[in-house]
Chains A and B, each alone.
Chain A
Amino acid sequence: MKFTTTLKIAGAAAFITTTVLTHAAYAQEETIKVGVLHSLSGTMAISETTLKDTVLMLIEQQNAKGGVLGKKLEAVVVDPASDWPLFAEKARELLTVDKVAVMFGCWTSVSRKSVLPVIEELNGLLFYPVQYEGEESSKNVFYTGAAPNQQAIPATDYFLEELGVEKFALLGTDYVYPRTTNKILEQYLKDKGIAETDIFVNYTPFGHSDWSKIVADVVALGADGKKVGVISTINGDANIGFYKELAAAGISADDIPVVAFSVGEEELSGLDTTNLVGHLAAWNYFQSADAPVNAEFIKEWKAFAGEKRVTNDPMEATYIGFNMWVNAVEAAGTTDVDAVTTAMVGQKYPNLTGTEAEMLPNHHLTKPVLIGEIQADGQFDIVSQTEPVPGDAWTDFLPESKVLESDWVELKCGMYNTDTKTCVQLNSNY
């Protein structure tokens, strides 16, 4: 009896001591963990490493301002190595082992698609900062890059109206983003009265380098006296060979303009751009945007990453997403995913081009559409800038997705059929 009592007291004492001790230790270094899920090796490292650095810089700045909710932010960086299934594994690791409050990550659509089931199962939070093909809206994802109506469609309008293009060559790399985008664009062009025979489509493998035949095909399109324009969804390294061949063939941007959706400052920095002057890119941000907040951002980025580094559109998307998340957490008073998700919708934050971004109920942003002409120094001259356009998750130009809508506030559904007035499904496993 006596022995057991002693044991009990000792046990209670030990229990109290450990709790107090762990609590003290916990309070000392309590941080909010932020997961960074970008490939640092493999094919996509070329683009994604920059975004990892951007998140690290933003965290450093936020901590200098005192952190969030009085706690410091702590980055947890993992490397999914451009290996799509590994993205899902690393996301699971971040959520279950590191217990991160939020993740910033993914570049290619296929990597995002592989992460989706994991974060929906574990109720995580992902900010996706790259322009993509749309046709998706997940409760657990905020899409801070452009949807097709914020990049592809306005660029096509620019071709039709400002440049008077009558014949289109849609060149793309063979994977989901270019195929979906081109499908939308083909339908859009047909609706605009462009004949099917005036649309030339070509797909090439990743890293394609033998472009002479394709460039010759594009030139030959001009034989019936119509102005030809190229819409390029060519991704990654293949662009270099394509632009080199274009330059070698002496094709001036005034004769056959090329608008690219995946070529930005970062991609051009590996290229001699003197022969590409005048060709176009459509984004929601260019480094050359004339706004004080942008000048400040560029200065900070160069101080953080190096004098030679450039800024680009997905960096701006990361910047907006990060700051909106910080404000939503402050507003919700917690990092709980459901509370933050609710607080996110309606968040406003100044973007880097002088207007304001707003998070919509479909988890997409309002963004201005900018069209830039390539300059000899690898920067862009902005020749067209719209007012902020609300991002549309489901495109209006394909009959099957025209009836779909996403609204996580009123309808509480990411795939709502407006004809049948039902929620098709809540998860994004499509």
Chain B
Amino acid sequence: MLRICLVLIAALIALAPAHAQEGNLNTVLEAYRANIEKPSRTTITPVLEALVESQAPGVAVFLEKWREKELWQRKSDGRFFYVSKADGGKLMLTDIATGEEAGLADAAELDNLKPNSGVRGVIAAALVQFQLSDPDPERRLQALTALERDANQSHLSILRAAIESEQDPAIRTRKERLQRLLTIKFGFDQATRVAAIESFAGDPGVDARAALNPLLATSIQAFDAVPEGVNVARILTPGRDIEADAAYQLLVDAGKARPIVPLAERKQALVTNIRDGRVGGLPVAELVTQEARDRAYLALAADGSVPPLVTADERQEAVAGHVFAEVYAEPDAALTEAAEETLADINGTVGVYRFLDLALDGLSLASIYFLAAIGLAITFGVMGVINMAHGEFIMIGAYTGYVVQQFIPNYTASILVALPLAFAVAFLAGVALERLVIRHLAHRPLETLLATFGISIALQQIAKNIFGTQARPLTSPSWLDGAWVVNDVVSISYIRIAIFVLALVFLGLLLFILNRTRLGLEVRAVTQNPRMASSMGINPDRINMLTFGLGSGIAGIAGVAIGLFAKVTSELGSGYIVQSFMTVVVGGVGNIWGTLAGAGMIGSLQKLIEFFNPSNTLAAQTYMIIFIIIFIQFRPKGIIALKGRAAGD
């Protein structure tokens, strides 16, 4: 044995200088051509090791280019090149080892090599050692990201070495955090690992939990006596913590008990052992009951022709005679204990943050519902018009935003233009609808409902004819991209914050218009008593028209907001019409505050049900509607009900 080892070592020593001498990148690439052509996460490691070991100049550049899908292969001879664009549609080849130009080629003569993301991850991990102390901070960050995704034992020392020289404070913090994470996974001595584990107490980061949880992985094992020398999580009592059958199966798997012969096999054994119409001394005709068959089987087992039956007593005895325990895969008890404590602490923090995140989500959904419903709160809530085409005003606003973006390429400017324009377009559409249809159907709610429903279908079809059926993009300005990230648990996208702010602004604006302006005064007067108002010199026709326009206009603005975070299609509005009516009805008809309360309740309720039933969002919506039906039974006028003469009825 020793001799073989020695021979191997000698061979390795003999080979090693040869490797170092070669040093030419092209030779290494040639040797591993097949693996580089068709790389896989599972087969790429030897190639990368050979490349790094060759210490050829340009390995780091090669790996980077390969990862960025900038490596090309010539079809004729299979050699690898970098390419750059040359005149006449041709590509200029660059030799990988020397960096010299190697002639022109047509794109058709070359294949662009595109490693998949699994392979790119492995390449990135191999690049870490080159990048971790690179002068370019961008590269250092890349290396850190690669380490966060996929690190191994060797990276720990490289990372520790790279921390000292780090100047950038932000990168240094990240490196140090990563160092602690890697120490938990790969550290050598107990004390530093425990310290690293404890340093994450209360840290809600997913990566911290991802590092700690594997330490606590357990498996259930069976022992003859109370186990010693292994890291036991807890002792299991058969029948309470573990099913007796499962416990026995564990014993069978461990070779500590005889396997149970399944019923089907026992039957088969009886069939094969029929001798002269008898099995185990019993006539076949008698074997009509399970009990008789068992007796026959036992008789067969007694003379050893079939494996003996495992009786219930034997099973009980076997289970009782052993100790079952959950055992940590990690042998060091100090580590698991520290991890257990830290994780419990973290889970407490995470629980609080998850509640916060849920509240934020609920708030955001509420603001979207509010924005969609606030126009309806005016037309339906204040004026009492059941306008089924309300959703289509939302759609009109969204398409206005899309059209504006076709003319104004700057996203910030286009949104600023789109908001008032969407208001104007939807306002005009609303006024037209009021003048042409709704006014003629005043006080005939059923006919209004049917007419506006028909108009809503017509508007959808018109939108399909103009814009096609494909969803249109309404792109938010880049400063609204991304999310406000508090930590790995609590985050909310900026676009939702913007919608929230927009909803607040419109709440304020509407309250101002209704309560502080002459128009608002007249609106309230007309809705309470149109004849009295008109005798006071208010023109109810004009007021109705303006009010309806105002409600529709706000729906248009809601359309821009909704288009920004979801999609612009002709069906955009119809998806919100039910929620909008629900919001207004639940909140209390005729009151802006009521709409706010309704949106808040529906939004947070929806999120709460989703939290308890995360696997089916559709079911969550159904439960919510059931809840609302029940709610309306008890408060038919909604959360905030108008009282006295203002109630109108």
Which residues of chain A have a CB within 8 Å of any CB of chain B? 41, 43, 45-46, 49, 158, 161-164, 174, 200-205, 207-210, 212-214, 216-217, 219-220, 222-226, 237, 240-241, 244-245, 247-250, 253-255, 257, 266, 269-272, 275, 278, 371, 373, 381-384
Contact = CB atoms under 8 A, between A and B. Distances in A.
Interface of A is mostly: mixed
Interface string B605-634: 001001100111110010000000000000
Contacts of A214: 614, 617
Interface string B106-134: 00000000111111110000000000000
Contact of A224 (B209, B357, B364, B469): B209
Given A203-B617, A381-B69, 8 more contacts: A162-B119, A163-B116, A200-B614, A212-B361, A219-B488, A225-B210, A245-B493, A266-B470
B406 to A, nearest CB: 13
A202 B614 contact: yes
Interface stretch (B24-32, B165-173, B532-540, B565-573): B565-573
Nearest to A279: B117
A275 B361 contact: no
Nearest to A253: B117
Given A163-B41, A225-B213, A248-B482, A203 B567 contact: no
A163 B607 CA distance: 32
Contacts of B475: 272
B206 interface: yes
B483 interface: yes
A237 B567 CA distance: 7
B473 A254 contact: no
Contact of A163 (B118, B357, B364, B610): B118
Interface in B132-185: 145, 149
Contacts of A219: 206, 488
B114 A209 contact: no
Contacts of A212: 361, 364, 492-493, 496
A253 B213 CA distance: 23
A240 B567 contact: yes
Contact of A174 (B496, B562, B616): B616
Contact of B483 (A41, A249, A270): A249
B209 A223 contact: yes
Nearest to A46: B469
B385 to A, nearest CB: 26
Nearest to A275: B481
A278 B493 contact: no
Contact of A46 (B471, B491, B607, B616): B471
A275 B483 CA distance: 13
Interface in B333-389: 357-358, 361, 364-365, 368
Contacts of B206: 219-220, 222-223
Nearest to B41: A162
A76 B569 CA distance: 28
B197 to A, nearest CB: 14
Contacts of B211: 225
A174 B485 CA distance: 31
B617 A254 contact: no
A200 B615 contact: yes
A205 B470 CA distance: 19
B78 interface: no
Give the interface size bracket for B toward A: 35 or more
* Central interface residue in A247, A254, A255, by most chain B CB within 10 Å: A254
A249 B491 contact: yes
A271 B42 CA distance: 34
Contacts of A244: 565-566
A396 B110 CA distance: 40
5 nearest CB pairs, A to B: A248-B493, A225-B210, A209-B566, A383-B116, A240-B567
A41 B149 CA distance: 46
A244 B474 CA distance: 11
A241 B621 CA distance: 18
B116 A45 contact: no
B472 interface: yes
Contact of B365 (A161, A210, A254): A210
A412 to B, nearest CB: 34
A180 to B, nearest CB: 16
Contacts of A384: 116
Contacts of A226: 210
A245 B492 CA distance: 10
A205 B618 contact: yes
A225 B184 CA distance: 13
B461 interface: yes
A247 to B, nearest CB: 7
Nearest to A48: B469
A209 B493 contact: no
B506 interface: no
Contacts of B119: 162
B489 A248 contact: no
B621 A222 contact: no
Contacts of A222: 206, 210
A413 B317 CA distance: 54
Given A202-B616, A212-B492, A224-B209, A270 B575 contact: no
A237 B562 CA distance: 14
Contact of A382 (B114, B365, B368, B471): B114
B117 A254 contact: yes
B214 interface: yes
Contact of B42 (A161, A201, A257, A275): A161
A213 B481 contact: no
A49 to B, nearest CB: 6
Contact of A162 (B40, B114, B209): B40
Interface in B261-316: none
B464 interface: yes
Interface in B543-594: 562, 565-567, 569, 571, 575
A185 to B, nearest CB: 15
A240 B481 contact: no
A270 B571 contact: no
Contacts of A371: 116
A60 to B, nearest CB: 22
A209 B575 contact: yes
B493 A249 contact: yes
Given A163-B41, A210-B368, A203 B616 contact: yes
A164 B565 CA distance: 32
Contacts of A216: 357, 361, 489, 491
A217 to B, nearest CB: 6
Nearest to A159: B118
Contacts of A266: 470
Contact of B114 (A45, A46, A213, A381): A381
B610 A213 contact: yes
Nearest to B115: A383
Interface in B422-461: 461
Contacts of B473: 270-272
Contacts of A373: 114, 116-117
A213 B361 contact: yes
B41 A45 contact: no
A71 to B, nearest CB: 34
B114 A250 contact: no
B615 A202 contact: yes
B618 A204 contact: yes
A163 B472 CA distance: 33
16 contacts: A161-B42, A163-B41, A204-B618, A209-B565, A209-B566, A210-B365, A213-B611, A214-B614, A220-B206, A224-B214, A225-B214, A244-B565, A248-B493, A255-B149, A269-B470, A383-B116
